[in-house]
Amino acid sequence: MNTHIQGDLHTEVLREVIDGLSKTQKSLPSKFFYDERGSQLFDEICLLDEYYPTRTELKILSDNINEIASNIGDECILVELGSGSSIKIRLLIDHLSTLAAYIPVDISTNHLLNSAENLKADHPELVIHPLIADYTKEFSLPEIKEHYRTIDAFYPGSTIGNFTPVKARKFLSRIAKTCGIGSGLLIGVDLKKDRDVLNAAYNDSKNVTAEFNLNILKNINKLVESDFDLYKFKHHAFYNEEEGRIEMHLISKEKQSVHIEDHTIGIEKNETILTEYSYKYTIEEFAKLVKGIYSLEKVWVDKNELFSVQFLRAL
């Protein structure tokens, strides 16, 4: 297994944190949720009754796996953007008998390499080239020596919803360019639905989402020299109907100052730090979003129309 590393991941972090906290609406990049504890909490979220996306997407994938595999095609290189739930990727790999190579791309080295090792143990014949990179930034695929016919990216979970639509379009253009004209993209897109269902999914009764949200501060304290006090913030998530997105914030319980290396950030009582957007789309809205970048080959939805899995081809 050949591991590739791209970019100076560390020096970027401080700048991103300071930039976000210097805005009128303070914010922190959602990707900082996912340290070890954060990934663990997200796995717990995925099992909650209220959090429908994961199990619904998995059901769509498994119900349509043969058709999905035939869209992906033979002798492909499968690029996974974010090495997430191994269940989904294993389902795909098990149905792609001629897979040329699998390239999981993730910013978190340990998580990436552990998942790759585990997968390799069960699929000794599979060629895996883990790529340590921040896929939300410019990156290039490692040189592939194996023979292949197509490149297909896999971007599950509706993680695309973390971007604003404008940024999502830019991101998708970049992925299309990185993987090349004619490359495929199998993407999970969460759908618009009843607001109560959405609000419940991000305000679960066991408060796992609240802990997940607060954990971003703990992770930032590890990544940079900062002194966020988790007890001075509380979780707040709601569906913003006008914008078509869930917003997750951390509300400051009191007026306070946070120190980050040689910066001091003042935070007012009830001021919020935006930690995540999770945009929801109709099928039509998403088709419009990708227009001119990808052609829409196929859309699969569950019977309750909660979630969609879409196969796109780069133009």
Q: What residues make contact with ligand AVJ under the rule CB under 6 A?
A: 45, 53, 157-159, 161-162, 202, 209, 276, 278
Q: How far apart are CA 104 and CA 120, in angstroms?
A: 12
Specify the residue, 75 or 211, whose C-beta has the smaller distance to ligand AVJ. Answer: 211
What distances in angstroms separate CA 57 from CA 186, 191, 305, 309, one per listed residue? 12, 11, 11, 7
- Of 225, 161, 232, the closest CA to residue 190 belongs to 161
Q: How many residues does the chain have?
A: 315
* Residue 132 near residue 109 (C-beta atoms within 8 A): yes
**In the complex, minimum distance from the CB of residue 289 to ligand AVJ, in angstroms, rounded to a whole number:** 16
Specify the residue, 54 or 226, whose C-beta has the smaller distance to ligand AVJ. Answer: 54
- Of 131, 127, 99, the closest CA to residue 112 belongs to 131
Specify the residue, 246 or 260, whose C-beta has the smaller distance to ligand AVJ. Answer: 246
**In the complex, minimum distance from the CB of residue 5 to ligand AVJ, in angstroms, rounded to a whole number:** 24
Specify the residue, 178 or 209, whose C-beta has the smaller distance to ligand AVJ. Answer: 209
**In the complex, minimum distance from the CB of residue 160 to ligand AVJ, in angstroms, rounded to a whole number:** 8
Q: Give the nearest residue (CB) to ligand AVJ.
A: 278
**In the complex, minimum distance from the CB of residue 315 to ligand AVJ, in angstroms, rounded to a whole number:** 26
Specify the residue, 159 or 183, whose C-beta has the smaller distance to ligand AVJ. Answer: 159
**In the complex, minimum distance from the CB of residue 305 to ligand AVJ, in angstroms, rounded to a whole number:** 17
Q: What is the DSSP string of 96-144?
A: -TT--EEEEEES-HHHHHHHHHHHHHH-TT--B--EES-TTS---PPP-
Read off the tokens for 43. 């796995």
